Amino acid sequence: MTATLITLDLALEPADTRRLADLCGAFDENIKHLERRLGVEISHRSNQFRVIGEQHTVTATEKILRDLYVETALVKGKAQQIEPQQVHLAIQAAKVLEQAPDKGDPAAEKMVHIKTKRGLIKPRNHNQAGYVRAVITHDVNFGIGPAGTGKTYLAVACAVDALERQEVRRILLTRPAVEAGEKLGFLPGDLAQKVDPYLRPLYDALFEMLGFEKVEKLIERNVIEVAPLAYMRGRTLNDAFIILDESQNTTCEQMKMFLTRIGFNSRAVITGDITQIDLPRGTKSGLRHAIEVLHGVEDISFTFFQASDVVRHPVVQRIVQAYESFEQKPQ
């Protein structure tokens, strides 16, 4: 099933060269931002614009262009230049990304896929399709469930896709440095080398999708950044795709700190498994707390995976189910 595209021609009045330049941004940066985020094509000559895309995105794009053009009107003799943050907020206000095809539509589910240079990545079940769709349409996303459900792999795939589409300028990978029961002791090397053992699943996914050499180059240029969660304090992350892995091992304070780092035109995916918490006894998991606090908050999505969603070796699914059954028995 292919989407039906429409073409809309509109004129922004009154025609004003300075206001049009302020609207479009340097090198049409704001127009390109709209195209990337909304999946439309925009061409313009003077104050005549043409928008091509799906009905709901074209309608929203027209409204956003008209609203932003109004903002460029002179205020006390000074031109009001449109910044990328204003474009981002206008897209959010239009709620256009929430008007995606119905999640219950099987045809729509088949359309959810992620393109990388190494190939096409498709969700393997309904829950994975809903997860990918949520990541695309929400600013903050939680993927919660047992090992092997693809929550981390798909998050990295969405990050790579967003980077290659130039929707974001960088990818940031982070996780709390908590050992899974064993003590690793002092780790030599620089910051990235110290955190490497904790972020290996994220690295493996990046290497598979981009290739080892390209990942190394992007890390050198800080396009891909690796940092322990503690180093996020005090930062504001704009134009970034941020992945917090193993979030069940955050404290409540760390989770709040991380969520408040998110800046303009950024997306965050938080993954975790609340059955594998390695925090000291008596310390409440920040992931568990976030589920309670943020349930129902606008622009935040939660996807809960079950043992039936495991896509690794079939025995992994049976292992997860066996542990679930055992833990539900009265002790």
The pLDDT tens digits of the residues spanning 188-201 come to: 565 556 566 667 77
CA distance 97 to 134: 10
Mean pLDDT confidence for 48-77: 85
pLDDT tops 90 at residue 242: yes
| Highest averaged pLDDT of the listed ranges 138-142, 232-236, 311-315 | 138-142
Residue 265: per-residue pLDDT: 86
* Sheet containing strand 41-45, strands side by side: 5-11, 48-54, 41-45
67-87 pLDDT, tens per residue? 999 888 765 456 578 887 788
Confidence band of 108 (pLDDT split at 50, 70, 90): very low
- Superfamily the domain 106-328 falls into: P-loop containing nucleotide triphosphate hydrolases (3.40.50.300)
Task: Report the distance separating Cα 192 and Cα 190, nearest Å.
Answer: 6
Q: pLDDT at residue 107 above 50?
A: no
In the prediction, which pLDDT does 75 show? 59
Percent above pLDDT 70 for the chain: 82
- Tell me what the mean pLDDT of segment 273-286 comes to: 87
What is the average pLDDT across 87-102?
Answer: 70
pLDDT score, position 104: 46
Owner of token pair 């039936």: 308
pLDDT at 106: 45
Residue 188 tokens, joined:
């030599």
**In the chain, where are the structural domains located?**
5-98, 106-328
Work out the average pLDDT over 12-32.
Answer: 89
pLDDT at 143 over 90: yes
Q: What is the mean pLDDT of the chain?
A: 81
Q: For the chain, what is the total number of helices (H) and then of strands (E)?
A: 13, 11
Distance in angstroms (rounded) separating the CA atoms of residues 160 and 157: 5
Higher-confidence residue of 143 and 310: namely 143
Confidence label for 264 from pLDDT (cuts 50, 70 and 90): confident
Q: Give CATH superfamily name and number for 5-98.
A: K Homology domain, type 1 (3.30.1370.10)
Tell me the pLDDT band of 274, cut-offs 50, 70 and 90. Answer: confident
Q: Provide the whole-model pTM.
A: 0.69
C-alpha distance from residue 291 to each of 152, 171, 238, 296, 327 (Å): 18, 24, 24, 9, 21
Q: How large is the average pLDDT for residues 204-218?
A: 89
Task: Check for a shared fold between 5-98 and 106-328.
Answer: no
Q: Which of 133, 89, 92 is nearest to 110 (CA)?
A: 133
Query: Is 263 in contact with 287 (CB distance < 8 Å)?
Result: no
Q: Is residue 38 over pLDDT 70? A: yes
More confidently predicted of 106 and 98? 98
3-state SS of 28-53 is: HHHHHHHHHHHCCEEEEECCEEEEEE
Q: Report pLDDT for 3.
A: 55
Sign of the alpha-carbon torsion through 131, 137, 138, 139: positive
Q: What are phi and psi of 124, to 5 degrees?
A: -100, -10
Residue 204, token pair as written in the block: 């493996």
C-alpha distance from residue 5 to each of 32, 53, 54 (Å):
19, 5, 5
Q: DSSP strand E in the chain: where?
A: 5-11, 41-45, 48-54, 114-116, 119-121, 140-144, 170-175, 224-228, 240-244, 267-272, 300-304
Rounded to an integer, what is the distance from CA 20 to the centroid of its chain? Answer: 31
Q: What is the mean pLDDT of the segment spanning 231-252?
A: 89
Residue 309 confidence (pLDDT) above 70: yes
